[in-house]
Structure 1
Amino acid sequence: MQNAEREAFAGFLTSLCAEYQKHNQIDPAYYERYNVKRGLRNADGTGVMAGVTQIGNVMGYYLQDGERVPAPGKLVYRGIDVEELVDGFVGEDRFGFEETAYLLLFGQLPTREQLAAFQQLLTDNHTLPHMFTEDMIIKAPSPDVMNKLARSVLALYSYDDNPDDMSLPNQLRQAIQLIARVPVIVAHAFAVKRHYYDDESLYLHRPQPGLSVAENFLYSVRHDNQFTQQEARLLDLCLVLHAEHGGGNNSAFACRVLSSSGTDIYSSIAAAVGSLKGPRHGGANKKVMEMFGYIEEGVKDWKDDDEIKDFLGRLLRKEAGDRSGLIYGMGHAIYTLSDPRAVILKKFARQLAQTKGMEDEFQLYEAVERLTPEVLLSVKGESKVVCANVDLFSGMVYKMMGIPQELYTPLFAVARIVGWCAHRIEEVYQPGNRIIRPAYKAVAPMRTFVPLNQR
């Protein structure tokens, strides 16, 4: 497109935008008049009940006389408190993600023999289809790894000899292959992105037998394949904490919506990836790190609470940062007093900060966590209980591990693919399942068609 054509196109778009805004204004009063559950949430902030699940549960409050009462957060995988799950494998000094994947998929903790067989199954399915990396990733690089992941997941349909078979054995086969392959796709997409967009040398590494998912990921994304056991254990912990978060989170619900239509697993998972990419969902950890870049630059004394509060106030008033008016990493739709994922990660982040000599930066994160409720009250008059969510500390953990920001949200997907597959299979095989179809109130007035020459 030539410059003159670009200018003409831009001018036409401007006029089209004005036309759209003129004819597409919805009166906000309609939402209250018709009792619309915006965001599929009730007036008290609770979610609209859309289904039942045995996979995961998120608890952050209890209802008393119709009012939400804040409570310490709990995250439950198949009836097991995630804190107990973490204490179990950390206490035994072993990796936990593969065990967690088995639990979420099949509903029961594996025996030692079952876990070993499942780990071998994942290893056997690491390899991408012949020429997949060359044809689907290298030949069509993307500046965004999540975009490339979504397209690659969709492309796997073409490499599957039986993509539309909805039988349970086939669905489980596809799920296990996706869990095994998504980390490899992410690693390759990241390497290709760095090569074509950042002018770096291209290094593609194959997963190694005998390594955990966390170990293989670090092995694959680093040019020299080097990583420490502390890094691998901490990444494994992050994967466990991100593996599942109930059926109502945006990406899992997107997966269930598509699955309810009877479409293939690749379409359903690609939709979930697209959802997770959004800054209001999985992309929030990148926004946290971006925000702290502004804070670290704008606050001269990181130990001065008044200076930190002043800058947080500027963030809320849209005078600093990305001008969104948000303090990323604070607050959650369900959790009130605490996010258990943040509590667990914070403990390990403190230990890593001491090892890396980053105590001052860690204390700045703690200060933002501690001061945000006070600033919200003074600037916006909001007195509701607000806690740090997992994104506040996950980004810092990744930073201390030397993981680039481009991989923060893709790592979330590497973990959450387990929860998505579990919800996909549950949605398809639950009794009496129906296509998910909520209602929208039409508010446009009726009018007659006007012939073209009379407009």
Structure 2
Amino acid sequence: MVGEFKPGLEGVPAALSSISYVDGREGILEYRGIRIEELAKYSTFLETAYLLIWGVLPTQEELAAFEHEIRYHRRIKYRIRDMMKCFPESGHPMDALQASAAALGLFYSRRDLQNPEYIRGAVVRLLAKIPTMVAAFQLIRKGNDPVSPRDDLDYSANFLYMLSEKEPDPLAARVFDICLTLHAEHTINASTFSAMVTASTLTDPYAVIASAVGTLGGPLHGGANEEVITMLEEIGSVENVPAYLEKCLQTKSKIMGFGHRVYKVKDPRATILQQLAEQLFEKFGRDEYYDIAIALEKAVEAELGHKGIHPNVDFYSGLVYRKLGIPTDLFTPIFAISRVAGWLAHWKEQLAENRIYRPTQIYTGQRNAPYIEIDKRTAADTEALIAAGAAS
């Protein structure tokens, strides 16, 4: 029996999961039961990734071993670098990342999904190599050779180093690491669901991550943080905020960085990101768009707060990345670097009790339509069939 149709599967449970928990009305996000505020304050991204994927906080020895494996596998095959050199310079980094992530499967194609060593190896390679590929394409599209990873730098500091070949300020590296932690997991969002559907076919984990990267690239998902910066540039000044908001309300246009399918209060990650932005501004100077963002948040709160429209994770993340010197079109690939941890956690959980996803549909087309021989077809016949299908 076909149930009630829910556009976008809104509110329809698709899995049982113990990875993360969200209470959208109270503004609560937990990874494996631990509040995101606690992890942002005390943890590191790799420790958080371990928690998400294996379900427990690692011991000091376990974390050291995990970090060592990640450092060892940071480098990418020269053939992948050569492939990336053939990508057009004008291509979006998310498209380059999706192609590169899929290409990893060619080098590590053996599927042994029942083997814990294979699972761990795939986890390590993807966490280690995705940042290297993002940084490599950034330099390659400028006509430069990629910068090799530095084994003496931690995960976040090394990525920032590979982008510029300059060792980052410790505050910048720590802020970036917290950003990765904040974006690492968020229940079954669009890209995670894409990963789970792909994983349910028992394909290799590199295809799973590539499918998730493709989904994340859309402006309604991971690409929204890029759109926030574009919006702030368009507004131009604090004085222009009221007129811009009024225009959005009149045209019913989406205000980028506001609203969430789950949160009806300010996203807890947005609160932390705003605090991180202010720390960076205090040390490195204020961003010209920050005052516009603050004014816009206040204006939206006054007009739409009663409807549960508040800043989400994308609203302040772009301002943080700008201050770290990261180009706007790398914002979403950085989201992917972080979310790999959550995708892998769901991949591993999916494998534990796998059943291939096969949802049903509610058919709205014609039935028993006649076949018209090609020499007897007319434009009017085609238009009639299209109209009949649209009306059914």
Question: Is the shorter-chain TM-score for this pair beyond 0.5, marking a shared fold?
Answer: yes
Name which of 306, 310, 317 aligns with 2:250: 317
SS in 2 for 1:57: strand
Deviations 1:64-113 (A, max 9, x none): xxxxxxx2x11111111111122224xxxxxx111111111111111111
Name 2:167's counterpart in structure 1: 226
1:140 equivalenced with 2:140 (yes/no): no
SS in 1 for 2:218: coil
Distance 2:30 2:99 in 1: 31
Distance 1:165 1:85 in 2: 30
Q: CA deviation at 1:376?
A: 4.0
Name 1:37's counterpart in structure 2: 6
Distance 1:260 1:219 in 2: 37
Name 2:21's counterpart in structure 1: 57
User: Where in structure 1 are there 5+ consecutive unaligned residues?
Assistant: 1-32, 42-46, 62-70, 90-95, 196-201, 319-323, 378-382
Name which of 360, 372, 380 aligns with 1:450: 372
Deviations 1:229-282 (A, max 9, x none): 111111101001011111x10000100011112222111111100010000000
Counterparts of 1:262-277 in structure 2, within 5 Å, are 262-277=202-217
Counterparts of 1:428-447 in structure 2, within 5 Å, are 428-430=351-353, 433-446=354-367, 447=369
The aligned amino acid for 1:218 is: L
Describe the shift of the 1:415–1:50 C-alpha distance in structure 2 as closer, same or farther (beyond 3 A). same
Counterparts of 1:288-327 in structure 2, within 5 Å, are 288-296=228-236, 299=237, 302=238, 304=239, 307-318=240-251, 325-327=253-255
Name 1:214's counterpart in structure 2: 156
Contact 1:350 1:362 in 2 (8 A): no
1:421 equivalenced with 2:344 (yes/no): yes
SS in 1 for 2:152: coil
SS in 1 for 2:141: helix
1:362 equivalenced with 2:290 (yes/no): yes
Aligned residues: 374
1:410 equivalenced with 2:367 (yes/no): no
Contact 2:287 2:319 in 1 (8 A): no
Q: CA deviation at 1:164?
A: 5.5
Name which of 153, 162, 183 aligns with 1:242: 183
Distance 1:126 1:83 in 2: 29
Name 1:128's counterpart in structure 2: 76
Q: CA deviation at 1:139?
A: 2.5
Contact 1:157 1:163 in 2 (8 A): no
Q: CA deviation at 1:194?
A: 2.5
Aligned-pair identity in percent equals 36
1:351 equivalenced with 2:279 (yes/no): yes
Deviations 1:187-237 (A, max 9, x none): 111112233xxxxxx041111112111101111011x42321111111101
The aligned amino acid for 1:84 is: E
Name which of 301, 307, 318 aligns with 1:384: 307
Distance 1:438 1:317 in 2: 38
TM-score, reference length from structure 2: 0.91
Q: CA deviation at 1:115?
A: 1.0
Name which of 185, 202, 208 aligns with 2:133: 185
- Worse overlay, 169-178 or 137-146: 137-146
Q: CA deviation at 1:167?
A: 2.9
SS in 2 for 1:194: coil
Contact 2:109 2:204 in 1 (8 A): no
The aligned amino acid for 2:87 is: A
Name which of 234, 244, 264 aligns with 1:336: 264
The aligned amino acid for 2:180 is: L
Describe the shift of the 1:315–1:173 C-alpha distance in structure 2 as closer, same or farther (beyond 3 A). same
Q: CA deviation at 1:345?
A: 0.9
What is the Cα-based RMSD across aligned positions, in Å? 1.9
Distance 2:106 2:173 in 1: 33
TM-score, reference length from structure 1: 0.79
1:253 equivalenced with 2:207 (yes/no): no
